[in-house]
Structure 1
Amino acid sequence: HALVRDEKGEEMHKSKGNAIWFDEAAERMGVEVMRWIFARQNPFVNLNFGYTVGEEVKRKLLTLWNSYGFFVTYANVDKVNPLSYELPLQDRSPLDRWLIAKLQLLVGTSREALEQYDVMALTRAVEDFLDDLSNWYIRRSRRRFWKGKADRDKMAAYKTLHEALVTLAKLIAPVLPFLSEEIYQNLVRSVDPTAPESVHHCDYPEPDEGLVDRRLLQDMDLVMRLVRMGRAARKEAGIKVRQPLSRIWVLVDESERKTVETFEDQILEELNVKEISFLEHPSEVRKCSVKPNLPLLGPKYGGELPKVRRALELLDPEDVATNVAEGRRVPLDLDGRKVELLPEEVLVEMEPKEGLKVLEEDGYVLALDTLITEELKDEGLARELVRRIQNLRKKAGLNVTDRIVLSYRAPERLKRALKRFGDYVMAETLCLEMREGEPEGEASSSENVDGLEVQLGISRASHI
């Protein structure tokens, strides 16, 4: 690659005090992090090296380590060895098949990148896959690992995640020799002594096109797009994802409605809404207005500008907005004289209808109902309490399978939320009993939940 400079892009010199010695960097950020920094760098661009960059890369690699840790934690609890059983891909859930398809695409990209000596392409592709693995597959599959019954679906989740992690270890072995070896030894060699002695003795993975379901990949891309738009709408509206809402409306292509219906439960759960409906046209959820761009049209039309304004007002604003969005001219009739306005000569303003937050992206429209009823508010408070109780579980050092007893003191509003959604709170936190009274147990805290003060305490159920 080009030159190695400091984080500000300046040359490193001992006299400047900005030089970083190898031993110091290896000790402070780790050699695997350093390898990834150099491997992901565009060789034609200077590398600005430093500890801030190291922390950013470490966070990316922690996504892999945390995903691996998630699998190990629950596999140990359930005493599961995914190498001990077969489960055909066609018998697994769409989510499992989607991850395997993404994995096979990564294998293909990785092999091609290494054959072209393009290590940067490999590392960037791995980072993208890790984002899908952690922030979509594992998050969408958590309940499958949590549930007590070791049914076919749970075993499929273990099998799929194990295959992904082992394959990842083999893919990154040339770049991260120690991290990949740690994962391989624990996930493969510890349960299969007949396997190659090291990940570096394994053949590099080859893609299996037969495992790539292109239609499923397209479907999930749509689902993830709508979820991303819904989260963005929530953020713009200032409403947390933990606060349930009643409905979203979506405008998709007619051929994509089946996909939305098939994955409706995933979309609703991800966005924490109760219902999804289809739109026929954006005008159902937002108002559109158009007006002339005076700084451009004034010099061009002079005294005829009022005529341009009136002619524009006579047109359907939705049709004008469509023309502008697609880069087409807007035809006008100025008392019998035909003129055309350029797209940039028309200003289009979109305003959502009252109580809605509307997002549009590449022809897709999503509208979020922002009205929060009292029942929805109570459910949101219950979800906030779940998060606080889960934090207490971590503070107390409880195992993921430990059952608890919850003691609490809370104002009437929070007590009402607990009464209405108590079953949900208990199920999410593995709570066997809720007691109103002085907080006690292995961990306790005072919390502010949306301006309401509550005291919480948890104890292991077995200690009561």
Structure 2
Amino acid sequence: NLISAEEAFEKMGADVMRWMYCAHPPDRNLLFGYEGAREVQRRLLTLWNSAKFLVDYGNIEGFVPTYSDLEGGPSADLTEIDRWLLARADRAVAEARAAYERWRSDEVVEAFEAYVDDLSNWYIRRNRRRFYEYDEAAFRTLWVGLVTALRIVSPIMPFLTEHLWQVLVAGRCEDAPDSIHLAGWPSALGAVDEELLSSMEVTREIVELGRRARTEAGVKLRQPLRSARVRGGDAARRHADIIRDELRVKEVDFDAPAVVEVSYKPNFPVLGPRIGPKVKEVAAALAAGDYEVREDGSVAVAGEVLSSDEVVRTETVTVEGWGVAQEGNLAVAVDLELDEELILEGRVYDLVRALNEQRKQQGLELTDRITLRLPSEHADLVDRHGEWIAAEVLATSIGVDGSLDAPVIEKA
């Protein structure tokens, strides 16, 4: 079962091998093999695809980066989410530096992967439209964010980071070092805004809970809904627009009332040593609701009086007719009732997704304009939302043809 170094270099790649070793905690044995290598390659695709996204749209829009942006951040008119990414980059740099100084390459990898996930699955996904029409601040912020990621991980992954440095930096900026390994450690991009980072973390938690509520209720994410209610997420109020867009709802309410069911169970590590086997009887009584909560917060149950630290109090939010998901004190409810308008918009999203997939299958470029003919089953969508559909699929014209069984896309 031995894999020779030469074979591993050829089939895995040197950077993937280095990554496997560096990502592994030093106090544990490494199960080295091709399956683990494929998993590393899959993870690194997030970085690669993020860089490809910037290169593709940067070439279309003629974006030229400014090397001095790496010293203190871009001077453009930044949005809040731009400032969030720069603050997130600074935090990643600090985490990686601390890990390197402790000789913990596995913690460097952990910090890098978390940062790249934020960059790709939050910043890029939230800002795609800004790259379709050359928003300078978005291009400059993403470029700084990506290059910072490369510099963080270049000691661990020298070859891939050097390749991307040549594509993103050395080949674009006249005053840039010829190699990433001559560029030094990243400078701070500004004071880290901890409040912004914290509020965005809560926002992402709310979004995940909202999606979970939709999924558990059997409502697909492309289907617009009327409203969402949030309980326990006040820190995210400033990002209500983001929550609304991510959950595809018309409004987000942080103040709507909800029914809260309170339950108790024993805190076994604390209560068990005091009452011994009787803890099972107490647990059963608490589960059955046979207890009394006193004014001082203690709980009388099964002949015992439990202090607040001897019980675990849980609040469960319920909203009749809504889908609810909860994690700790944070809860999100989504209105599941659909009216004609919402159903129609859901069909538009489904159609746009199918048409853009058809564009890819036909080999059309990102900027290619098209003419579009649709079967008559989509006539009501064209009547109500024709301009929206055209903008989403880059159609110069949309027609309805009753003889068609499927959409027809032709390059304009």
- Sort the TM-score into its range (normalised by shorter chain): 0.7 to 0.9
Identify the match of residue 223 of structure 1 among 190, 203, 228.
203
Deviation track 1:62-113 (CA, whole Å, cap 9, x = no partner) reads 1001000000001100111021897855831111110001101111122222
Alpha-carbon contact 1:439-1:457 (below 8 Å) kept: no
For 2:45, the equivalent position in structure 1 comes to 62
Q: Structure 2 vs 1, CA of residues 122 and 394 (structure 1 numbering), >3 Å: closer, same or farther?
A: same
SS at match of 1:405: strand
The count of residues paired between Structure 1 and Structure 2 equals 397
Q: Structure 2 vs 1, CA of residues 163 and 356 (structure 1 numbering), >3 Å: closer, same or farther?
A: same
SS at match of 2:177: coil
For 1:424, the equivalent position in structure 2 comes to 388
Alpha-carbon contact 1:32-1:176 (below 8 Å) kept: yes
Identify the match of residue 96 of structure 1 among 67, 78, 82.
82
Q: Does 2:170 align with 1:170?
A: no
Q: Return the letter of the residue paired with 1:211.
A: A
Whole-Å separation in 2 of the counterparts to 1:349 and 1:125:
33
Deviation track 1:361-418 (CA, whole Å, cap 9, x = no partner) reads 231221111112222112111111111111111112212111111122253xx43234
Whole-Å separation in 2 of the counterparts to 1:270 and 1:213:
23
Q: Does 2:363 align with 1:397?
A: yes
Whole-Å separation in 1 of the counterparts to 2:142 and 2:24:
29
Q: Structure 2 vs 1, CA of residues 299 and 114 (structure 1 numbering), >3 Å: closer, same or farther?
A: closer
Q: Structure 2 vs 1, CA of residues 131 and 345 (structure 1 numbering), >3 Å: closer, same or farther?
A: closer
Whole-Å separation in 2 of the counterparts to 1:198 and 1:220:
34
SS at match of 1:82: coil
- Cα drift, residue 296 of structure 1: 7.1
Identify the match of residue 340 of structure 1 among 293, 300, 305.
305
Q: Structure 2 vs 1, CA of residues 48 and 282 (structure 1 numbering), >3 Å: closer, same or farther?
A: farther
Equivalent residues in 2 for 1:73-222 (5 A)? 73-83=56-66, 88=74, 91-147=77-133, 150=134, 154-207=135-188, 210-222=190-202
Q: Structure 2 vs 1, CA of residues 298 and 92 (structure 1 numbering), >3 Å: closer, same or farther?
A: closer
For 2:398, the equivalent position in structure 1 comes to 434
Alpha-carbon contact 2:315-2:329 (below 8 Å) kept: no
Whole-Å separation in 2 of the counterparts to 1:432 and 1:85:
40
Alpha-carbon contact 1:41-1:47 (below 8 Å) kept: yes
SS at match of 1:123: helix
Deviation track 1:322-376 (CA, whole Å, cap 9, x = no partner) reads 99xxxx64236x9xxx853689999989583432112222312211111122221
For structure 1, which runs of at least 5 residues remain unmatched after alignment?
Answer: 1-17, 441-453
SS at match of 1:98: helix
TM-score normalized by structure 2? 0.85
Alpha-carbon contact 1:386-1:428 (below 8 Å) kept: yes
Whole-Å separation in 2 of the counterparts to 1:159 and 1:386:
29
Q: Return the letter of the residue paired with 1:75.
A: G
For 2:248, the equivalent position in structure 1 comes to 272
Whole-Å separation in 2 of the counterparts to 1:241 and 1:339:
48
Whole-Å separation in 2 of the counterparts to 1:68 and 1:310:
56
Whole-Å separation in 2 of the counterparts to 1:230 and 1:345:
29
For 2:3, the equivalent position in structure 1 comes to 20
Whole-Å separation in 2 of the counterparts to 1:349 and 1:165:
41
Q: Structure 2 vs 1, CA of residues 431 and 290 (structure 1 numbering), >3 Å: closer, same or farther?
A: same
For 2:353, the equivalent position in structure 1 comes to 387
SS at match of 1:394: helix
Q: Return the letter of the residue paired with 2:232.
A: V
Whole-Å separation in 2 of the counterparts to 1:296 and 1:349:
25
Alpha-carbon contact 2:227-2:250 (below 8 Å) kept: yes
Alpha-carbon contact 1:290-1:349 (below 8 Å) kept: yes
Q: CA RMSD in A?
A: 3.4
Equivalent residues in 2 for 1:25-44 (5 A)? 25-44=8-27
Deviation track 1:233-285 (CA, whole Å, cap 9, x = no partner) reads 1121121111111110111366x3xx41x3221111111111111236541xx
Whole-Å separation in 1 of the counterparts to 2:168 and 2:338:
46
Whole-Å separation in 2 of the counterparts to 1:429 and 1:299:
63
Deviation track 1:194-232 (CA, whole Å, cap 9, x = no partner) reads 322211111122445x33111111121121111111111
For structure 2, which runs of at least 5 residues remain unmatched after alignment?
Answer: 267-276
| Bigger relative CO (Cα 8 Å, ≥ 6 apart) | 2
Q: Structure 2 vs 1, CA of residues 215 and 350 (structure 1 numbering), >3 Å: closer, same or farther?
A: closer
SS at match of 2:407: strand
Whole-Å separation in 2 of the counterparts to 1:330 and 1:105:
43
Q: Return the letter of the residue paired with 1:218.
A: S
For 1:331, the equivalent position in structure 2 comes to 300
